[in-house]
Structure 1
Amino acid sequence: MVQSYKDIKYILGKGSGASYNAGIDAGNGELITFLDYDDFWKKNKLTVQLNYLYQHPEIEYVIAKMRYFLEPGCNIPPGCRE
């Protein structure tokens, strides 16, 4: 499906690290973001992050809170926190 969008580059990597690096190498914009197969973004995620970056030029990157969507009875993976 992603191949049908001309502005999106589809890169098949060898693990997430290699895929991230290939994406960074292939990028040609001012900023870069990643959206993994199991990620869910709120509608205004990029707007909020971009506004913050532009209002604070001394900041080099932003991150977001993480929220788990687990099946009933499943625990949060070890090493992760709520």
Structure 2
Amino acid sequence: MTILDDVRGLIVDHLKADPALVPLEADLKDALGADSLDAVEIVMAIEEKYKITINDNDTEKLKTVADIVSYLKSKGVQAAA
């Protein structure tokens, strides 16, 4: 699995979204209908899965699936086994 697959899976599970509707450029709020609480819960799930802490300033920048994947890669995160 790739980081993209992992992130997409977390989003699909949390938002009950169709995986086909979660492309890289999908905006969590506008395209996928996530509200602020959903966004926080998704970030918390990512933190738990990858054993990292994402600070509030960085959280605000994570608007799309691509943003999340790029952020995780920049932190040296590897795809879950």
**TM bucket normalised to smaller:** 0.3 to 0.5
Q: Which gives a bigger RCO, structure 1 or 2 (Cα 8 Å, sep 6+)?
A: 2
Instruction: Give the alignment's TM-score, normalised by structure 2.
Output: 0.32
Q: TM (normalized to structure 1)? A: 0.32
Higher helix share: 2
Find the structure with the greater CA-based Rg: 1
